[in-house]
Amino acid sequence: MKAWSDKIRKIEPYVPGEQSKNKNIIKLNANENPYPPSPKVIKALKEITDKQLSLYPNSNAESLVEALANYHSVQPEQVFVGNGSDDVLALCFMAFFNSKKPILFPDITYSFYPVWCKLFNIQYKEIPVDENFKINPSDYYTENGGIIIPNPNAPTGISEGKDFIKNILNNNKDCIVIIDEAYVDFGGYSCIELLKEYDNLVVVQTFSKSRSLAGMRIGTAISSKELISILNAVKNCYNSYTVDAVAMQCGIASVNDNEYFKSVISKIKATRERVSKEFAKIGFNVYPSHSNFIFVTKPDINAKNLFEALKNEGIFIRYFNIPRIDNHIRITIGTDEQMDILIKAVKKYIN
Residues 49-108 that bind a copy of itself (CB under 8 A): 50-59, 83-84, 86-87, 90, 94-99, 101
Smallest distance, Å, CB 255 to a copy of itself? Answer: 15
Q: Which of 1, 3, 24, 138 touches a copy of itself (CB under 8 A)?
A: 3
Comparison of 13 and 299: residue with beta carbon closer to a copy of itself? 13
In degrees, to the nearest 5, what angle opens at C-alpha 187 toward C-alphas 322 and 339? 65
Half-sphere exposure of 16 (CA within 13 A, CB side): 4
- Determine the interface stretch with a copy of itself among 6-14, 124-132, 272-280, 319-327 (rule: CB under 8 A): 6-14
Comparison of 2 and 351: residue with beta carbon closer to a copy of itself? 2
Comparison of 194 and 234: residue with beta carbon closer to a copy of itself? 234
Task: Report 12-41 residues binding a copy of itself (CB under 8 A).
Answer: 12-16, 19, 27, 30, 32-37, 41
Comparison of 57 and 150: residue with beta carbon closer to a copy of itself? 57
Answer yes or no whether residue 123 interacts with a copy of itself by CB under 8 A.
Answer: no
Answer yes or no whether residue 131 interacts with a copy of itself by CB under 8 A.
Answer: no
Task: Report 321-350 residues binding a copy of itself (CB under 8 A).
Answer: none
Check: CB of residue 307 under 8 Å from CB of residue 317: yes
Comparison of 144 and 276: residue with beta carbon closer to a copy of itself? 144
From residue 152, alpha-carbon distances to 64, 90, 327 in Å are 25, 19, 21
- Determine the interface stretch with a copy of itself among 3-11, 163-171, 308-316, 318-326 (rule: CB under 8 A): 3-11
CB atoms within 10 A of CB 49: 10
Name the β-bridge partners of 296: 286, 329
Q: Which of 1, 2, 73, 130 touches a copy of itself (CB under 8 A)?
A: 2
Nearest C-alpha neighbor of 290 from the set 152, 192, 164, 179: 152
Radius of gyration of the chain (CA): 21
Comparison of 11 and 130: residue with beta carbon closer to a copy of itself? 11
Q: Which of 143, 163, 197, 226 touches a copy of itself (CB under 8 A)?
A: 226
Answer yes or no whether residue 42 interacts with a copy of itself by CB under 8 A.
Answer: yes
- Taking the alpha carbons at both ends of the chain, their separation in whole angstroms is 55
x-marked contacts with a copy of itself along 233-262 as a string, rule CB under 8 A:
xx-xxxxxxx-xxxx--x------------
Smallest distance, Å, CB 191 to a copy of itself? Answer: 17
Smallest distance, Å, CB 61 to a copy of itself? Answer: 12
Q: Which of 142, 229, 258, 302 touches a copy of itself (CB under 8 A)?
A: 229
Comparison of 111 and 258: residue with beta carbon closer to a copy of itself? 111
- Cα distance between residue 80 and residue 62, in whole Å: 9
Task: Report 173-202 residues binding a copy of itself (CB under 8 A).
Answer: 173-176, 199-200
- Cα distance between residue 28 and residue 48, in whole Å: 32
Q: Which of 151, 206, 210, 212 touches a copy of itself (CB under 8 A)?
A: 212
Name the β-bridge partners of 82: 219
Comparison of 159 and 185: residue with beta carbon closer to a copy of itself? 185
Q: Is 208 exposed, middle or buried, given 0-12, 13-18 or 19+ CB atoms closer than 10 A?
A: buried
- Cα distance between residue 280 and residue 120, in whole Å: 42
